[in-house]
Amino acid sequence: MWTIQGRHPAAVGSVRVAGRDPAGQRPEARRRQVGLVPQSPADLLYLETVAEECAAADLSAEAAAGTCRALLERLAPAIDDEQHPRDLSEGQRLALAVAIVLTARPPVLLLDEPTRGLDYPAKHALAEVLRDLAAEPGAERAVLVATHDVEFVAQVADRLVVVADGEVVSDAPVARGVTESPAFAPQVTKVLGSGWLTVAQVAAALPPGAP
């Protein structure tokens, strides 16, 4: 992921984002093109309050004031603006880092284990935000998530690539990829069989008024 973002040059092969190698661009140009939420989200937090972090994200992204704060409220509601970012819970820090990166609406968005520390409502909110960004008309945006959270994969992904020991062992649409091995299957699939991935799918299939 850091190679796609451009911080590290490719050791083997090549990387092109919009026809250019991100490693050859200046840091600010890379951040506008490729947004990365790292596995340690605190690495992105350096100001004294949540409000300052959100204001700085809006300014850097040339976004309307309040854009970052609105995203944060969707992911982790009711965080105190005056709280120090490093005093937040792990899930709240992650939500803030995600909101900061998403504020810039980069055409390529990378997230490394983004659900770690998030509760189910926050995971659901993050899935909605990512789907909205990927489907935004005219945006031509790619979203790449590295995760071990198969439930989140079933909820948000279109395509699943399974990698083991540096080798691609499976590359398929998510509905097929998560059912190729019991180890990758979400709980709903294990209970109801292939064709079912999420609780939301099951709920939508029930007749009106069903318990």
Task: Give tens-digit pLDDT for 120-130.
Answer: 888 888 888 88
The structure tokens listed for 168 are 């691609």
In terms of Cβ atoms closer than 10 Å to its own Cβ (0-12, 13-18, 19+), residue 138 is exposed
- pLDDT for 180-202, tens place per residue? 777 778 778 888 877 778 877 77
Distance, in Å, from the CA atom of 102 to the CA atom of 68, rounded to the nearest integer, reads 8
pTM reported for the whole predicted model:
0.80
At 12 the three-state DSSP class reads coil
> Residue 211 — very low, low, confident or very high, per pLDDT cuts 50/70/90?
low
Q: Is the pLDDT of residue 162 over 80?
A: yes
- pLDDT for 94-146, tens place per residue? 889 989 998 888 889 999 998 887 888 888 888 888 888 888 887 788 899 99
Entry field: residues in the chain: 211
Distance, in Å, from the CA atom of 203 to the CA atom of 211, rounded to the nearest integer, reads 10
Q: Side-chain half-sphere of 34: how many Cα atoms within 13 Å?
A: 25
> 82: closest CA among 59, 44, 55, 101?
55
Average pLDDT over residues 60-89: 92
Distance, in Å, from the CA atom of 130 to the CA atom of 156, rounded to the nearest integer, reads 8
Percentage helix, strand, coil for the chain under 3-state DSSP, each rounded to 5: 45, 15, 40
Q: Is the pLDDT of residue 85 over 90?
A: yes
Which amino acid is residue 85, in one-letter code? P
Cβ(67)–Cβ(58) under 8 Å?
yes
In terms of Cβ atoms closer than 10 Å to its own Cβ (0-12, 13-18, 19+), residue 77 is exposed
- pLDDT for 163-172, tens place per residue? 888 888 889 9
Would you state the pLDDT for residue 84?
96
Can you list the domains of the chain with their CATH numbers? 40-144 (3.40.50.300), 148-211 (no CATH)
Query: How many helical (H) and strand (E) elements, i.e. helices and strands, does the chain have?
Result: 10, 5
At 206 the three-state DSSP class reads coil
- pLDDT for 22-73, tens place per residue? 888 888 778 778 989 888 888 889 999 999 999 999 998 889 999 999 999 9
Would you state the pLDDT for residue 59?
93
Name the helix (H) or strand (E) containing 167: strand 167-173
Would you state the pLDDT for residue 81?
96
